[in-house]
Structure 1
Amino acid sequence: MVNILIGCTGSVATIKLPILVRTLTQKLSENSISVKIRIIVTEQAKHFFKETDISDDIDIFSDHDEWSTWKNRGDPVLHIELGKWADVFLIAPLDANSLGKISSGICDNLLTCTVRAWDMSKSLLFCPAMNTKMYIHPLTANQISTLISWGYREIPVTEKVLICGDAGAGAMAEVSTIVDTVESLILEKDIH
């Protein structure tokens, strides 16, 4: 059994979350890889999908869960427990805001706290997704380089007409590319 934690941030590419989950589950099961998925969403990501579009057997966590589950000293801390549970952490999409936070060490929500506490011996993959003007800003290349220098693996953006109507680089990688990359990683590291 492979435990995959998916993080979603406030990019419009989060609309692909239900398709990503279904495709990932289906492709891995076709290759005899059992998978359990849990999802962390930022408050902004909630705007782009309906929880009812995700299978009932998949837990979806947000900031509310982080603060409502801890009551007293000694209680489990959700961002630590999710990190312990997961074999692979996939952040798809990773918007400019969360990229900036993660690369700077800011951990002010469940997703960024989970990344900050991530066991660096395990795989973390990230899929940037943002408007072309944001993507080509010099900060973005530096921030992506920082994450790569830590051992995180980028699944690069694609070029196309974005939902806002602008054309250029910045669109999240295709779901099939993300799924193939995750599958390759699982097989390469023999995680299952």
Structure 2
Amino acid sequence: MEPHPTAASLVERKFHVLVGVTGSVAALKLPLLVSKLLDIPGTCVIRAWDCSKPLLFCPAMNTTMWEHPLTAQQVDQLKSFGYVEIPCVYKKLVCGDQGLGAMAEVETIVDKVKEVLSQHNGIQQS
């Protein structure tokens, strides 16, 4: 794995990042996530989705929902499209469950976005 791009390497190119949120307690982290994404030089405008661009998704739900077989099918379907999963994490959830289902930490998500943007930029320029 290559190191994360520096601010100088990212500022050379403009990126458009679309952040979509569905109903989840993880939506409470949205302001912090967007704030951190805006710190990436050049990166964030909401536009219509271009399916040729990378798509990352961060599941967040209670443990019972996460362990349901339909969830595994849906995650597998998204991955089969080439979308990148940023896996949920194990912790005590707001509903009281202790287990998998919490959204990844904001820094983990931002680091993965930087990595994917850097890789996508390298592929386009090849």
Q: Is 2:54–2:120's contact at 8 Å kept on the other side of the alignment? A: no
Aligned residues: 109
Identical aligned residues as a percent: 50
Q: CA RMSD in A?
A: 1.4
The 5 A counterparts of 1:34-73 are 34-38=42-46
2:74 aligns to what?
Answer: 143
The 5 A counterparts of 1:34-183 are 34-38=42-46, 82-84=48-50, 119=51, 121-183=52-114
Query: Offset of 1:138 from its aligned partner?
Result: 1.1
Query: Offset of 1:37 from its aligned partner?
Result: 3.1
- Tell me, yes or no, if structure 1 residue 9 matches structure 2 residue 22: yes
Query: Offset of 1:189 from its aligned partner?
Result: 1.4
> What TM-score, normalized to structure 1?
0.54
Q: What is the distance in 2 between the residues matched to 1:135 and 1:147? A: 15
Q: What is the distance in 1 between the residues matched to 2:115 and 2:73? A: 27
Structure 2 gap segments, 5+ residues each: 1-13
More strand by share: 1
Q: What is the distance in 1 between the residues matched to 2:74 and 2:19? A: 20
> What TM-score, normalized to structure 2?
0.81
Question: Per-residue displacement from partner, 1:41-95 (whole Å, max 9, x unpaired)?
Answer: xxxxxxxxxxxxxxxxxxxxxxxxxxxxxxxxxxxxxxxx6125xxxxxxxxxxx
1:45 aligns to what?
Answer: none
Give 1:83's aligned amino acid.
W
Moved over 4 A (4+): none
Q: What is the distance in 1 between the residues matched to 2:102 and 2:67? A: 12
Structure 1 gap segments, 5+ residues each: 39-80, 85-118
Name the SS of the counterpart of 1:128 in structure 2: coil
- Tell me, yes or no, if structure 1 residue 25 matches structure 2 residue 49: no
